[in-house]
A and B are shown apart, each in its own frame.
Chain A
């Protein structure tokens, strides 16, 4: 069965510092890959997604993610973190070649931004 692992439960970075959130997946083929952000009390919002082509994907709010097939990873990065980026971040995978298949989510990484 497909699975998603986010190894870091909680990360703290200083404002202006760079950020990398890790995501690894386990699946027989390359799935569709997503990163979502959840601000306190809100639903999830899509940051970016990958399903083919360039392995470096640009998203909203200055985020990017790089798909590395050899490592089964899809890590999220941001060069300079802003205080408003404090939130919970979820990596998710979706099955290819299925109609209306489900998405599997990681457990999430909580980001705290220090002033």
Chain B
């Protein structure tokens, strides 16, 4: 299995531009998570899906952030418009079942908003 695949690995954009981060979970996993990691705030859960349905989006910073999971094999996290304070590493993770199962993380997308 190729693991959780995220793209792009790096993104550099100008303030105000739209940014779309992509994630392909491990086949057969029914839960998908988006995390953001910064030095100041550490690892924060933004949103998670179960069977393609958003369960908890309370971690999404503001309306500029949106996430979708149109099918079991693909999810996007979109920031529009982007701001410099959005600069961070964004991780996608997937899980096969219940809370006691482990999360499998992608390698992350390093986002820099200038």
Inter-chain contact A43/B106, CB cutoff 8 Å: yes
Interface residues on A, range: 20 to 34
Interface residues on B, range: 20 to 34
B50 close to A (CB within 8 Å)? yes
Inter-chain contact B42/A107, CB cutoff 8 Å: yes
Of all chain A residues, which has the CB nearest B48? A102
Inter-chain CA distance A36–B93, complex, in Å, is 13
Chain A, 76-100, contact with B by CB distance < 8 Å: what is the 0/1 string? 0000000000000010001110111
Inter-chain contact A94/B100, CB cutoff 8 Å: yes
Indicate which residue in B31, B45, B99 contacts A95 across the interface (CB closer than 8 Å).
Answer: B99
Inter-chain CA distance A45–B3, complex, in Å, is 11
Indicate which residue in A36, A96, A107, A108 contacts B99 across the interface (CB closer than 8 Å).
Answer: A96
Inter-chain CA distance A78–B9, complex, in Å, is 32
Chain A, 48-89, contact with B by CB distance < 8 Å: what is the 0/1 string? 010100000000000000000000000000000000000000
What residues of chain A have their CB less than 8 Å away from a CB belonging to chain B?
Answer: 32, 34, 36, 41-46, 49, 51, 90, 94-96, 98-108
What are 27 contact pairs spanning A and B, CB under 8 A?
A36-B105, A41-B108, A43-B105, A44-B93, A44-B105, A46-B102, A46-B103, A49-B100, A49-B102, A94-B99, A96-B100, A99-B98, A100-B50, A100-B95, A100-B98, A100-B99, A101-B99, A102-B33, A102-B48, A102-B55, A103-B33, A103-B99, A104-B45, A107-B42, A107-B43, A108-B42, A108-B43
